[in-house]
Structure formats: structure tokens, C-alpha cells
Amino acid sequence: MERYAEWQRGRVLVACAVLTAGLLTFHGVVPNSPGRLGSLLETFLPWLALVAVPLFGLALLRRSAVALLALLLPVAAWTHLFGGLLLPGAASGPHGLLVVQHNVSDENTDPAGTARDLAGAGPDLIALQELVDPALSVYRRTLAADYPYHAVRGTVGLWSKHPLTGVRPLDIKPADITEPWSRGLRTVVHTPYGEIAAYVAHLPSVRVGTRGLASARRDESAGLLGRAVAAERLEQVVLMGDLNGTADDRGLAPLTSRMDVARRGFAFSYPAALPVARIDQVMARSARVDHVRALPATGSDHLPVAARVTLR
């Protein structure tokens, strides 16, 4: 009887462990209405495993063997979903490019220093968002020597070591925005390994409030961007941008369903002071994003991210 009571001890902890594992494994079944709860959960999905820490302590206090065993479920679920991101990145193939993505912030007080820091990483491509005058002129001047080719449309831009052609804006503006709004461009990069279509985008911001996640504009813009990628005639595509969403967020499904995301590295990029999510993304089609990492802070509220992309 006493042994049976020991196994009964900690049933609430067991239920919490099973619930946590279920949310990790089956987050896609969490409804997005009301308040886009599914997207909100997916934004912070890697952090859900932290629930296991206090549960572990309570299981020890309760001396509950069954609760300790149940905690293996969320650990296994987290490892299955995210364990691969902790592995060291493999060396890029012979057709590798290094790209940097950064929302430089329209309030950045040191655009020259930011530009030098980004160029110091030695990337082939640098994608920037929130480019506004007079800082835009500083970025152009500072990056000109190492990146002779660049394109800017609206508030987004791309600097490249390789020639660019066919530059055009992308129409990803949500229907209810009536003021001037240009946050996307497409161009062809002529790399030593062939042509790639490069997309740079800045999707609308999301807000977390009492009603949940306000992401309708972001989701609409992601759908427009996804359709543009689907219609792209060049086989190889690289997308760089502040997408205001994580790769797990279903709001970005129009993109993640069509493109490869990073196989290695968490690279949390926002907010810069205490990064909890990577909303700055590098994705690819008919190419592979091998590894992504966060770079040191600049004068922005985002951290830059650098990704190695292997072309075919």
C-alpha cells in the first residue's frame, strides 16, 4: 500500500509535464483564435521547456518517482524539435555564401559604426531594413568600398560583393495601410556559382497585448511575400528580412512551407538587450541554410544575424 501511495504522489506534476510535452509536440493544434494564441505559443516555443525546471525541483521535494519519469517527456520533445540547432554548423560546401541580415533601426545613432561592424563579418551580402535619411547616405558611403553593388527600395536595401540586376520593389503592403509604405525588394545576384534571386523584406510589426498577439498585418504581408516567392522563375532564392516572426510561427507558413530555414543555431535577435526570439530570418529555396548565428550588438534594437547558405 505504501509503495502504491508513492507512485500516486505528484499526479499534478505528472499532468503538467505531459501538458508541456503535448504543447511542444502538437503546438500546431492550438487554435489561433481568439488572440492568435497558436502563433503566440510558437513565438516562444523553445522557452516552453523551462517549465520543466521548477517541475523537476517540485518532483524532488515531493519525492515523486513517477513525476521525475514524466519529465522525460518534455525533455524528449524539446530535444526532437530543437536539439539539432545546438549542434555545431557544418562547413559550407564549395558554393557557399555568407549573408548578414540586420534591422538597423531608424533611431540608430551610429550608422557608420553599424556599417563597419557588419562589413567586418566579411559577408557576401548585407540586407538592411529601416533605412532612412540621413543615415541611408552614411550606409552607402561606408559600405561602398567593400560592397560596390547595392539596391535600395523604400526602407530596405541590399549590399553585395557581386553584381546586381533586375532590381524591383515587392508589393507586400497590407490592404488597410493607405500611407506610402515600401518594405520589400527583389533583385538578381550574379554570384560565381550562378544567379540567385535575392529578396529583402520587412514585414509589419506585431504586438502582444491583453487580447493576445496582434499579427493580422504581418500575416497578410507574409502571404503576399510567399506568393511572390512561389512565382519566382529563378530556381535558387535567398530571402533575408525582419519578418517579425519566428520560423515556428504559423503566421510565416506561406514562407516556411516553401523555403529552407536554418538547420543549426538559435541566433535570437530581438530585443537586442535581452534576445528571446529570432525574428530576423534567412531562408532559401533550392539552397541550404547551414548555420545562423547572432553577431554583436550595434546601435539597433535588433541583433544582426549571419547565415551560411550553400547553393547548388
Residue ending a domain, among 36, 65, 86, is: 86
Q: For residue range 50-107, what is the model confidence (pLDDT) as tens digits? A: 998 999 999 888 888 899 999 999 999 999 999 988 888 666 667 899 999 999 999 9
Residue numbers of the domain that contains 303:
96-311
The CA–CA distances, whole Å, from 33 to 66, 216, 254, 285 equal 35, 12, 19, 31
pLDDT (0 to 100) of residue 1: 46
Q: Is the pLDDT of residue 125 over 90?
A: yes
Measured distance CA(18)–CA(74) in Å, rounded:
7
Residue ending a domain, among 52, 86, 120, is: 86
Residue 91 maps to a domain: no
Q: For residue range 151-204, what is the model confidence (pLDDT) as tens digits? A: 999 999 999 999 999 999 999 999 999 999 999 999 999 999 999 999 999 999
pLDDT (0 to 100) of residue 302: 98
Residue 285 maps to a domain: yes
* % of the chain exceeding 70 in pLDDT: 95
Residue 186 maps to a domain: yes
pLDDT (0 to 100) of residue 82: 93
Q: For residue range 241-295, what is the model confidence (pLDDT) as tens digits? A: 999 999 999 999 999 999 999 989 999 999 999 999 999 999 999 999 999 999 9
* % of the chain exceeding 90 in pLDDT: 82
Measured distance CA(182)–CA(131) in Å, rounded:
11
Res. 229 pLDDT band, cuts 50 70 90 = very high
Place of cell 525574428: 279
Residue ending a domain, among 86, 108, 134, is: 86
Same domain? 167 vs 232: yes
Number of domains in the chain: 2
Same domain? 135 vs 206: yes
Q: Answer whether 7's CB lies under 8 Å from 66's CB.
A: yes
Same domain? 163 vs 74: no
Q: For residue range 40-53, what is the model confidence (pLDDT) as tens digits? A: 999 999 999 899 89
